[in-house]
Amino acid sequence: MSTWLITGAGNGLGRTIAEVVLGAGHQVVATARKPSQLDSLVETFGRAIAVAELDVTDEEACAAAIEFSATTFGSIDVVVNNAGFGDVRPFEQTPSEDFRNLVETCFYGVVNMTRHVLPLMRAQRSGHIFQISSIGGRVAFAGNASYHAAKWAVGGFSEAVAQAAAPFGVVVTAIEPGGMRTGFGATATREQVDLLEEYEPSVGHVMKMLDQNWGRESGDPVKVAKVLLALAEAPGLPAHIVLGRVGLETVRAVETERARVRDLWQPVGDWIDFEADGALPALPDWQLPGTPKWVD
């Protein structure tokens, strides 16, 4: 039996992970901004679950949640940094406060929790930290600038910490699912915006695509939770794991295109080195791309 700490467990994927982990016989500290959302889990699982109110943007509260977890169950074996939300609208029409709030939650929430659990896991020479990211941490879609900023940051942060923590037995992995049926779209599009005409071909196209997809995503959150259960038993893991057929296909298409562009621009890139001779190479014949094929 292991002890899990799960942020953002009041609903969506976090709630599903808590249910699956508890059902498998483990102990869970489930955190949420509204702890009452977890009352039914407490009724079902009793002393196997402890609930804490937590806003992950509050670093002191994150430290207190980790201390509460360690005090309640004696250790923390797995942390799932799941708290987060989306915001689909043009960057130009996203107020600075809203942009910052999303990054504070989706990125600095991960940083805060990781910062305060690492000393505990380093001392016990073991532990898994799962950062619930997204293919949005590898792929960008018009109209999701704040979300991509946060999730790309999570990926780089997690990879660096994973390398640093591996020698003392702590595994850090960014979990990058494609679309899942978690109700994510309801929060991602909660801010209605009168789209500027100039953004109709780009952001408008993406918003229409997403509207057609909400509730019909191919990813099963229960299966994602079961994958995490299995991963928590692994002594070592890669820093990034993409989940879902659609997500994998999307990432593969994007990485193929990036490789093509990288090679196309290689002569220009090579030229900036001191040892490169001659004049600046001619720039590639570059056309502004239309809608990326992975968005259609």
Given 134, 146, 147, 158, the catalytic residue: 147
2, 69, 151, 199: the active-site residue: 151
Give me the catalytic one of 133, 134, 146, 158.
133
> What fold characterizes domain 3-245?
Rossmann fold (3.40.50)
The residue to which tokens 């430290």 are assigned: 63
Respond yes or no: is residue 133 known to be catalytic.
yes
Q: What is the pLDDT of residues 52-101, one digit of tens each?
A: 999 999 999 999 999 999 999 999 999 999 999 999 999 999 999 999 99
- Is the predicted pLDDT of residue 294 greater than 60, yes or no? no
Q: What pLDDT is stored for residue 186 in this prediction?
A: 61
**Using an 8 Å Cβ cutoff, are 84 and 174 in contact?**
no
Whole-number pLDDT of residue 219: 79
pTM here is 0.92
In the predicted model, what is the mean pLDDT of the chain? 92
